[in-house]
Structure 1
Amino acid sequence: MPVYLDKNTKKYYFKCYYTDWQGEKHQAKRRGFALAREAKAAEREFLAQYATNPNYTFQDVYEKYINDCSARLRKTTVTNKQSFFEHAILPFFHAMKISEINPVHVRRWQNDILMHYAPTSQRIIHGNLSALFNFAIKFYGLKNNPARIAGSIGTLKAHRAKFWTVEQFNLAMKFTTPAAKAAFTLLFYSGLRVGELLALTIQDYNPAAKTINVSKSLSTIGSAQYIGPTKNSQSTRIVSIPASVCALIDEYLKLLYEPEAEEPLFMYFSKPTLLKQLKAAAEKAGLEKIRLHDLRHSHASLLINLGINILAISRRLGHDDIKTTLNIYGHLYHTTNEEIAAKIENLITSNN
């Protein structure tokens, strides 16, 4: 397109039309070029940048991204995303044009995140930022992902989780109520998440088959609680439990007054009340205090020590893939190259 000479200023300018990422046409004008070729070069650069790139702010794309996530993800997942964005991402990026954010901006933001968040949180926060850029690339014409170019931060692995052995668990259970003991025992010997446990109804427990049907999860958002889907498709599962655990649950059910099948299995408990009782039991038993989720870790540790296949453990825990299981519990597999060689040697010797 032609460039023009401003007769008053004796400077050149360009005027052009372009179609934005939404298909809408706009006119752009830039002034103040000493030479016609400079104005022409600036026009080409402008069209290369803005005719194919989105020109909305980071805040705009965040709102579009969250709306899309709300239609596709669990409510708790969306709430967690919103929290990460509002506290750690939006304060830095919200007013910037998304097409103008580059890896240098991301690195500056990362330096602040590195000072204020733990390594696992750093990784999650950065992953959320990168996911938003990928969303803009896929649906709104953004050319590249500056977060990916800048490189990730943090780590997938947290500090090693705390575990109780069977002996420690049995000791702690001497200092709690029969109802709480039933809940804790089911967590310890099934590997259920706490939300899955609290969402169970009485009909989810099948004493004849010795199984628990995990099909939902209880979540807390603010002060409200609601029953929703499990964490992922693999988390919807049937979990077999030992006969002795069934016997304990049966004894607990006798304490309830004519319970209905659709009522919660552990109707008098919430996560805070369970945690309070677990900490009290640990203190009375002289044990290190652990979180409720550490009973799930303890179950995984127990299975590994029993020599259970990692794929079977992953399925029992309801992980979305085996990589998740290995990332969390891989360090518990202590088999060394020397032990492997010794086992093979024993096999050779026994067959000869």
Structure 2
Amino acid sequence: MASLKMIEKGNWEVSFYCKQYNGENKKIKKRGFKTKKEANDFANNYIKMHTGAIDTMFFDVVDEFIDYKQDKIKYNTKINYKKVQKKIHELFENKPINQITKGDIARFLDKLKHIPSQQKEVKQKINLIFKYASVYYNLNYNPMDNLEYELAKSKPKIKEILTLEEFKKLDEILKKEVKPLARLYYNLMYYSGARPGEIAGLTLNDIDFNNCTININKTRIRTAKVNSPKNSSSNRIVTLPKKCIEMLKKVVNLSLPKKEFIFSTPIVYCKCLIRIIKEYNFPKKISLHSFRHSHVSLLIEQGVEITSISQRIGHKNSQVTLGVYAHFYKKKNDKILDILNKID
């Protein structure tokens, strides 16, 4: 039996016990309902969902799944889950979860075929939702199993890169157009191959001036929001050329509190880069990630082994690096073929 209490006019609270999938009898308390009926309906629906009632409405399971994931995923991933939740509510037909068919899902995915990346993302999340329902709500039939649906193909993204000569030309513009700290940010991006948020997350504690290294152990999202790096392999020590260390010594206030961020957030440098490209009619439309891609391309051109590159840029393994940068190796293989063809 749910306990209902009016906190104030238009704000009802409900509390009740409900046995979870693992057998735990958990107390649930929630407030913010406009009416007593809304509070009571929430309790009844929650109990129904958690006692194996597979005729629960699909949107209720979706919302429950999104709430369930919130404490288990990183900030940017949370945003992606919320986008999927919104899209399902907008375009999917709400019906009991045990009545959803493969055809329902296919028709829904058809509505997203003009955005291939979103279509793929949504399909993956729906599959997770049904797996969640099979565990928590005893759903025996998963319409995602063996779903033969051909996803729309995304156009391959062109990874714009800057050669060393092109970066030096850009750096000359940076000397004139931006503050020394901003110029330092772009240089660290180019010569370290780190992600934009990883450089933005640096503090003086992370810099070893004697050994010319930076310790990448977090990624900056917003002004005061940080995450752990993208994966365990992203925690790494990255060596820097001496000229970057000299720039650090010259530009950074070394009396800065050791735990205070050195740089602004990535969005600041993104906007600055867009402005410079436009004002100077720069020949390449680069982004912040272009500096990372450029660094990898530079190392490949210099013959650095793929395993060393993978470790340096924080990929899980060299296969991931090859998957992302295979086209860079194709260019190198073309050069090898040219050399071989010249041999008598």
TM-score range relative to shorter protein: 0.7 to 0.9
Cα 1:227/1:295, change in 2 over 3 Å = same
C-alpha contact (below 8 Å) 1:173/1:281 kept by paired residues = no
Change (3 A) 1:342 1:270: closer
- Which whole-Å deviations, capped at 9, do the CAs of 1:207-237 have from their partners, x for residues lacking one? 11211111111114xxx75122122222122
Among residues 186, 189, 192, which one is paired with 1:187 in the alignment? 189
- After TM superposition, give the deviation of residue 264 of structure 1 in Å: 1.0
Instruction: State the alpha-carbon separation in 2 of the partners of residues 122 and 53 from structure 1.
Output: 29
For the 8 Å contact 1:165–1:302, the answer to whether it is kept is yes
Equivalent residue for 2:84? 84
Which deviates more, 60-69 or 277-286?
277-286
Alignment of 1:84-103 (within 5 A): 84-86=84-86, 88-93=87-92, 95-103=94-102
1:166 maps to 164
Q: Distance in 1 between matches of 2:130 and 2:318?
A: 27
Change (3 A) 1:338 1:210: closer
Other-structure match for 2:11: none
1:147 aligns with 2:149: no
Cα-to-partner distance string for 1:60-87 (whole Å, 9 max, x where unaligned): 221222222122111321122111221x
Counterpart of 2:68? 68
2:127 corresponds, among 130, 133, 143, to: 130
2:316 corresponds in structure 1 to: 320
1:69-118 alpha-carbon deviations (Å, 9 max, x no partner):
122111321122111221x2232336222222121111111111003x1x
The residue that corresponds to 1:243 in the other structure is: 242
TM-score (norm 2): 0.74
Aligned twin of 1:258: 255
Aligned-residue offset at 1:261 = 1.3
Structure 2 residue 154 is the aligned partner of structure 1 residue 120: no
What is the Cα deviation at residue 53 of structure 1? 7.7
Letter in structure 1 aligned against 2:144: A
Three-state SS of the structure 2 residue aligned to 1:213 is strand
Unaligned residue ranges in structure 1 (runs of 5+): 1-20, 24-50, 347-352
Deviation at residue 274 of structure 1 after TM alignment: 0.9
Distance 1:273 1:338 in 2: 39
SS of the residue corresponding to residue 333 of structure 1 reads helix
Shift of 1:277: 2.5
Deviation of residue 167 (structure 1)?
0.9
Structure 1 length normalisation: TM-score?
Answer: 0.72
- 1:297/1:339 CA distance change after superposition, 3 Å: closer
CA apart distance, 1:22: 10
Q: Does 1:215 align with 2:217?
A: yes
Contact 1:234 1:318 in 2 (8 A): yes
- Residue 136 of structure 1 aligns with an amino acid whose one-letter code is A
Count residues with an aligned counterpart.
289
Cα deviation code 1:23-55 (max 9, x no counterpart): 9xxxxxxxxxxxxxxxxxxxxxxxxxxx98822
Amino acid in structure 1 at the alignment position of 2:105: V
SS at structure 2 position matched to 1:114: coil
Pairwise CA RMSD? 3.1
Kept in 1, the 8 Å contact 2:189–2:291? The answer is yes
Report percent identity of matched pairs.
27
Tell me which amino acid in the other structure corresponds to 1:191: G
1:183 deviates by 0.5
Using the alignment, how far apart are the partners of 2:251 and 2:93 within structure 1? 53
- Say which SS state the counterpart of residue 70 (structure 2) adopts: helix
Choose 1 or 2 for highest CA Rg.
1
Residues in 1 aligned to 2:275 and 2:296: alpha-carbon distance in whole angstroms: 23
Distance in 2 separating the partners of 1:164 and 1:232:
27
- Cα 1:128–1:155 change in 2 (3 A) is farther
Equivalent in the alignment of 2:266: 271
2:184–2:247 CA contact under 8 A, matched in 1: yes
Deviations 1:262-315 (A, max 9, x none): 11122xx23232123323433427332311122111112222222222232222
Compared CA separation, residues 181 and 337, structure 1 to 2 (3 A): closer
For the 8 Å contact 2:204–2:254, the answer to whether it is kept is no
CA 1:57 to 1:81, structure 2 compared with 1: closer, same or farther past 3 Å? same
| One-letter identity of the residue aligned with 2:83 | S
Secondary structure of 1:276's partner? helix
Pair 1:133–1:68, CA change in 2 (3 A): same
Supply the distance in 1 between the matched residues of 2:316 and 2:135 (Cα, whole angstroms). Answer: 24
Q: CA deviation at 1:161?
A: 1.5
| Structure 2: 5+ residue stretches without partners | 1-20, 24-50
| Equivalent residues of 2:221, 2:265 under 8 A apart | no
